[in-house]
Amino acid sequence: MAQAAGGLTPNQAQVTGHLRQANAPLTAYQVLGRMQAERGAVAPPTVYRALKGLQDAGLIRRIETLRAWAPAATVSPGVVVICDDCGTVRSMQAPDVLESLHLCLAAEGFAKARQTIEVHGRCGGCAADQT
């Protein structure tokens, strides 16, 4: 498989470009539509393979509550905060929250739990615009 700059396949590079240009997370079908607009026929599995590879590499993250994808600001675990007004998505470090969660899970017998913590609300910029 051919590699683009940065060790990405051409499809991964194109998907990454679309996600970075977007003002909000994109669904797989939104990415597909943008790719098809650029180069014609693109099959859904092409997009899903690219998304999977980018996620496995830690370059993008799935926003579970939106069923969409966004560039990953950080690979380390944290809390994903999502502005419901402007669509901004960012990672926030919350080591105490994660440690407390893992302690509670361990007390319940969970081992190697995978967590996704997503918080929806209004970012500082949008909250300030409402005042």
Residue ranges of domains in the chain? 5-71, 79-129
Angle between helices 44-56 and 28-39 (to 10 degrees): 120
pLDDT, tens digit (0-9, with 9 covering 90-100), for 52-69: 999 999 899 899 999 999
5-71 fold? Arc Repressor Mutant, subunit A (1.10.10)
Query: What percentage of the chain carries pLDDT values higher than 90?
Result: 56
pLDDT, tens digit (0-9, with 9 covering 90-100), for 10-23: 999 999 999 999 98
In this prediction, residue 56 carries a pLDDT of 92
Token pair of 110 as six digits: 């969970």
79-129 fold? Dna Ligase; domain 1 (3.30.1490)
How far is residue 131's CA from residue 121's CA, in Å, rounded to a whole number? Answer: 16
